[in-house]
Amino acid sequence: MILAQNLCFRTIPTTCIIVKHQKEPHQVNPVTQTKTKLCECFDLHKELIPYGKAWSWQKQIVKEKKTLVQRNEDCPDTLIVLQHDPVYTMGTGSSEKYLNFDIKEAPFDVYRTERGGEVTYHGPGQLVMYPIINLRNHKMDLHWYLRALEEVVIRVLSSTFSIKASRTEGFTGVWVGCDLGNQKLAAIGVRVSKWITYHGLALNVNTDLTPFSWIVPCGLRDRQVGSIKGLLQESQLSTRCGEADTSNSDDCELIDISYRSLIKEFSEVFQLEICQKAIPMSELLTENN
């Protein structure tokens, strides 16, 4: 059964803490800014959030940002980082031929969304980033935005885990090449409405990859799916001077290390000052009818 979604989501009171970072040169360069822009970050990277709740929340934030733009008021960027309960999501034009099960007897909920791309899986051990940003403040170019998201993941894998990852021409996402089986570690699917982005990227950290075998991930039959933990175990990466010791990290620590690296690289690629915001879980998980 494919689920639609029509939940309401109310604004959540927050507390802001500024996290500063040092900028470095990077390959994907936004439009030069005269001053550093702020990005509010809702950190739920240790939490399992139902997909429907997160989807509704994103759309509410997008609606609020559109209103700010119409009023010619300041429209700060937003970043949500979380994990999901097991779920399959499909893009607006996704085909059910990429589901290896009867849709009426799906192993998990299946959501058809307005993002681009084919079917993918979200679940525990996968960090999902939802940037809800105003591309007017960066570069009004969807291709640039997709390449920038890829750049964030490529930097995380290289700088924190010594994993050499790359793009694959003609496809969106991040792969580790032939030596490790050409595995896809990060899927990207976005929606842009009046230059406000939502949906985003999913990075497999220590995800159970079994549910990916029940679909054709992203509609690519000749590509494998991998995880950071799996690659670390397979390649037996050793700690190098100045790098995080990740080869023997437990699952929770690996999630934390990956989250910190994602935030750092996101802030540098998009030239944003991250403003952490606390979220009362009771508010997040309360359905407002």
Residue pair 87/38 in contact (Cβ under 8 Å)? The answer is no
Which residues have CB under 8 Å from 276's CB, separation 6+? 16, 17, 18, 19, 41, 43
- Is 218 one of the annotated active-site residues of the chain? yes
**Whole-angstrom Cα distance, residue 76 to residue 118?**
30
User: In the numeric block, which tokens belong to residue 34?
Assistant: 């005269």
Measured between alpha carbons, how far is residue 86 from residues 51, 93, 183, 224, 285 in Å? 9, 22, 21, 19, 17
Residue type, 7: L
Which residues have CB under 8 Å from 108's CB, separation 6+? 86, 87, 88, 121, 211
Which residues have CB under 8 Å from 171's CB, separation 6+? 218, 220
- Among the listed residues 75, 218, 241, 252, the single catalytic one is 218
Kindly list the catalytic residues.
218
